[in-house]
């Protein structure tokens, strides 16, 4: 194993937001989940539960969630019905995170020619999340609510493994917290048990190489900015 191969798999991962209508082999999905499950987890709890949506089950979830998303647009009071089960983002944004978030959001919308006042276009672009960005495979991840917050740390390792293993098979992904507010639609749809909480969703498929949105590459702060060396 060389650093170059591992680094390339990690560096070539990006959030893809336009996929080709090309099926993904079940063997590939299974192999990705199998290798991803080598992720470490505290005391080897392996807290992940995965739901793979394809075909009619995928399409039906897309329809239901897009309808709810449209309904909220028409009547914003409905948003109160759709609550996230855990805080993915902070209640109060502070610098430098708010600055990075804005740069990311406006970078993406700028690339797509969506201005601050283009609420219709913004809604359509946001709704692309609930179409899995046209990916043929949608993944939903849940965790048993009895588990501690540490399980979300374990989950991060598992999710990253999926995204990197996908690269090894020519596939791309987009992790999606956008679904989290719609767990009241998603959990019954996938048949999740009473005690399960939605962690996030993910699109999986082959990237559309011609889609401008997929030319969006995000920067990172240099190592020196987030690391302190102590001797
Ligand atoms: C847990 C998680 C949830 C995310 N949710 C969304 C989402 O709902 N929609 C979306 O377009 N991108 C989502 N992203 C992608 C981030 O915006 C993206 O990772 C970040 O901007 C860095 O870009 P990159 O993934 O291309 O390197 C999510 C990322 C993570 C890790």
Distance CA 151, CA 16 (A): 26
- For a mutational test of ligand 1's pocket, the pick from 14, 174, 180, i.e. the residue with the most ligand atoms closer than 8 A to its C-beta, is 174
pLDDT of amino acid 137: 99
Segment 63-74 shows an average pLDDT of: 98
Ligand 1: lining residues by beta carbon, under 6 Å: 14-15, 17, 104, 129, 174-178, 200, 218
- For a mutational test of ligand 1's pocket, the pick from 175, 180, 217, i.e. the residue with the most ligand atoms closer than 8 A to its C-beta, is 175
pLDDT of amino acid 208: 98
Kindly report, residue by residue over 188-218, the tens digit of the pLDDT: 999 999 999 999 999 999 999 999 999 999 9
Alpha-carbon distances, residue 230 vs 127, 207, 226, 227 (angstroms): 46, 42, 13, 10
Distance CA 179, CA 177 (A): 5
Kindly report, residue by residue over 4-21, the tens digit of the pLDDT: 999 999 999 999 999 999
Kindly report, residue by residue over 123-154, the tens digit of the pLDDT: 999 999 999 999 999 999 999 999 999 999 99
Whether residue 93 is predicted with pLDDT greater than 90 in this model: the reply is yes
Whether residue 89 is predicted with pLDDT greater than 80 in this model: the reply is yes
User: Which run of H or E residues covers position 150?
Assistant: helix 150-167
Three-state SS annotation for the chain: CCHHHHHHHHHCCCECCCECCCCCCHHHHHHHHHHHCCCCCHHHCCCCEEEEECHHHHHHHHHHHHHHHHHHHHCHHHHHHCCCCCCCCCCCCCCCHHHHHHHHHHHHHHHCCCCCCCHHHHHHHHHHHHHHHHCCEEEEEEEECCCCCHHHHHHHHHHHHHHHHHHCCCCEEEEECHHHHHHHHHHHHHCCCCCEEEEEEEEEECECCCCHHHHCCCCCCCHHHHCCCCC
Distance CA 68, CA 185 (A): 9
Asked if 206 and 22 count as a contact pair (C-beta separation under 8 A), the reply is: yes
Asked if 174 and 124 count as a contact pair (C-beta separation under 8 A), the reply is: no
Could you give all domains of the chain from N- to C-terminal order, each with its CATH number? 9-218 (3.40.109.10)
Whether residue 1 is predicted with pLDDT greater than 90 in this model: the reply is no
C-alpha 13 to ligand 1 mean position (Å): 11
Atom of ligand 1 nearest to the CA of 178: 8
pLDDT of amino acid 189: 98
pLDDT of amino acid 71: 98
Segment 56-82 shows an average pLDDT of: 97
Mean pLDDT over the full length of the chain: 97
Whose Cα sits closest to atom 5 in ligand 1? 176
Whether residue 155 is predicted with pLDDT greater than 80 in this model: the reply is yes
Over its C-alpha atoms, the chain yields an Rg (Å, rounded) of 18
pLDDT of amino acid 157: 98
pLDDT of amino acid 106: 92
What is the percent of the chain with per-residue pLDDT over 70, rounded to a whole number?
100
Segment 47-54 shows an average pLDDT of: 98
């Amino acid at each position: 194993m060389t650093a170059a191969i591992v680094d390339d798999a990690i560096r070539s991962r990006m959030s893809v937001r336009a996929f080709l209508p090309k099926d993904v082999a079940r063997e590939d999905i299974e192999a990705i989940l199998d290798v991803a499950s080598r992720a470490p987890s505290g005391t080897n709890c392996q807290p992940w539960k995965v739901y793979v949506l394809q075909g009619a089950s995928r399409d039906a979830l897309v329809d239901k969630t897009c309808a709810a998303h449209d309904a909220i647009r028409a009547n914003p009071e409905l948003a109160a019905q759709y609550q996230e089960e855990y805080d993915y983002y902070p209640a109060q944004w502070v610098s430098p995170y708010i600055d990075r978030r804005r740069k990311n959001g406006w970078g993406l919308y700028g690339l797509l020619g969506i201005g601050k006042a283009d609420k219709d276009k913004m809604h359509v672009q946001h709704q692309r999340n609930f179409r899995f960005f046209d990916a043929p495979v949608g993944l939903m991840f849940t965790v048993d609510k009895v588990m501690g917050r540490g399980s979300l740390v374990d989950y991060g390792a598992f999710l990253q493994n999926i995204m990197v293993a996908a690269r090894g098979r020519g596939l791309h992904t987009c992790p999606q917290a956008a679904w989290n507010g719609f767990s009241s639609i998603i959990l019954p749809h996938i048949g999740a048990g009473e005690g399960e909480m939605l962690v996030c969703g993910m699109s999986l498929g082959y990237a559309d190489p011609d889609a401008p949105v997929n030319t969006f590459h995000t920067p990172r702060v240099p190592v020196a900015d987030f690391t302190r060396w102590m001797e």
